Amino acid sequence: MGCGMSPRFERELLMIPGPTMVSPRVLRILSKPVISHWSEEFKEAFLEALRLTQMLFQTEGHPFILPGSGTLGMEAAIANIVEPGDRVLCVENGFFGERWSEIVEAHGGVVDHLRFDWGQPIDPKLVEERLQEADYKAFTIEHVETSTGVANPLEEIGRIARGTDAVCIVDSVCGVGGMPLKMDEWGLDLCLTGSQKALGAPPGLALLCLNDKAWSVVERREKPVADYFADLRRWGPVMRDPSGYFATPPTGMILGLLEALRLIAEEGLENRWRRHRAFSEAFRAGLEAIGLESFPARGYEAHTVSVAKVPEGIDDAELRKIMRERHGVIIAGGLGKLKGRIIRIGHMGSATITDLAATMSSLEMALKILGYELRLGAGVGALEERLLPYLSTP
């Protein structure tokens, strides 16, 4: 194959931080004929998916599976909790954290920002102080900030949430299923995710769970929810008994999600967290071995995505193009103000050790082609060394 060619790979390695690759088991389910949303088969599958959603978020709270992406989940959270004039503290340390304030304002809420530098974790003490300064209806926070690769200290945030009436709303779109999140034990009030990241299903579904504190805020609303489709009180009866009707559920997607959730249950959440941690430590060891600097603050690196600074003199778009066109390996660049400055590699959901090694190998070769100095194999070797202890434990 000539170097200048752009072959189309029938089997690309999708290593962006979502959507991620989907297990053949899930793909097989997605290729099945459409079934009726009134059928007993679907009703049972939906109920099982809802039960597994509670397992995923580690909660006995109220689960919802809605048609839409992660952003719809964020909007449903705000639309149902926040009424016009309510004050909301948006805790921000990256691209997705900053999205919350726009959603709050779109629903008539009054935003106060608590900003941290991109790449730094949020400081729970400052969150606690700010929450005491005003009567906040809610505060928003990222679990994993996908744009920087930072995992925020969520357990401490939960402790703070317990001591306040403000509803703690957590965006775990790039966290849950790949990193520990214990909604009830930690005291988080409303957590959400999308189907396409650490769950290992295709994009298209938003999953939310509300504890009793959050749900009672929804039930005690004075004004109607200004979003007919995302009104959780309209969806509530369907989530308790899927033989009811509000809007046609995406049956095929929900069956696909169920298979992905079953895979998580079979692997075991704790094992899955361990696997993601081992993968992220190994990938970072590989990056370090080839001289790439990690972007997120040390000790706060997410286990679902690795983020590295683009070396001096390297064009990140060119780097990603070489990886895509010559190796069929797809990684992501920076978002917003980090465009051109970082690369982001997702290794979550059903990613495997061989996916990791192939991605590192492709990255090494592409960097070498662009004139970056490195010893080929150094990254893959470091990654393998780091993975050995994990692979040796039964």
**C-alpha 64: how far from chain center:** 17
Nearer to ligand PLP, 99 or 213 (CB): 99
CB of 294 to ligand PLP, least distance (A): 18
Interface stretch with ligand PLP, choices 154-162, 167-175, 343-351, 366-374 (CB under 6 A):
167-175
Write the secondary structure of 35-85 as one string of H (helix), E (strand) and C (coil).
CCCCCHHHHHHHHHHHHHHHHHHCCCCEEEEEECCHHHHHHHHHHHHCCCC
Find, among 211, 250, 231, the residue nearest to 49 by Cα: 250
* Encoded tokens for 274: 């361990």
**Does 173 contact ligand PLP by CB under 6 A?**
yes
CB of 206 to ligand PLP, least distance (A): 8
* CA dist., res. 327 & res. 120, Å (int): 33
CB 182 to ligand PLP: min, Å: 19
Q: Of 64, 96, 279, 295, which one interacts with ligand PLP (CB under 6 A)?
A: 96
* Distances 160 to 58, 132, 155 between C-alpha atoms, Å: 19, 11, 9
Identity at 207, one-letter amino acid code: L
Residue from 318, 312, 315 nearest 293 by CA: 312
CB of 104 to ligand PLP, least distance (A): 15
Please, are residues 192 and 141 in contact by the beta-carbon 8 Å criterion?
no
Shortest separation between residue 87's beta carbon and ligand PLP, angstroms: 22
The pairing of strands 13-14 and 329-330 is parallel
| 18 scored as a contact of ligand PLP (CB under 6 A) | yes
Looking at the Cβ atoms of 203 and 381, the one nearer to ligand PLP is 203
**Closer residue to ligand PLP, CB minimum distance, 124 or 178:** 178
Is residue 136 within 8 Å of 127, Cβ to Cβ?
Answer: no
Distance between CA atoms of residues 75 and 57, nearest Å: 19
Question: Closer to ligand PLP at the Cβ: 176 or 310?
Answer: 176
Residues touching ligand PLP: how many (CB under 6 A)? 12
Q: Between the CA of residue 109 and those of 116, 126, 127, 232, 376, what are the distances in Å?
A: 21, 22, 19, 18, 53
Q: How far is the CB of 114 from ligand PLP (least distance, A)?
A: 17
Distance from C-alpha of 67 to C-alpha of 145, rounded to nearest angstrom: 23
Interface residue with ligand PLP among 83, 171, 259, 355 (CB under 6 A) is 171
- Binding track, positions 178-197, relative to ligand PLP; x by CB under 6 A: ----------------x---
Q: Does 349 participate in binding ligand PLP (rule CB under 6 A)?
A: no
- List the one residue from 61, 63, 70, 334 that touches ligand PLP (CB under 6 A): 70
Reference 308, options 279, 331, 330; nearest CA is 331
Q: Which is nearer to ligand PLP, 23 or 71 (CB)?
A: 71
Binding string, residues 134-163; x marks residues near ligand PLP by CB under 6 A? --------x---x-----------------
Of 76 and 239, CB closest to ligand PLP: 76
| Residues numbered 361-390 forming contacts with ligand PLP, rule: CB under 6 A | none
Number of other residues whose CB lies within 10 A of the CB of residue 170? 29
Q: Is 23 in the site for ligand PLP (CB under 6 A)?
A: no
Pick 69 or 362: Cβ nearer ligand PLP: 69
Binding site for ligand PLP (CB under 6 A): 18, 69-71, 96, 142, 146, 171, 173-174, 194, 203
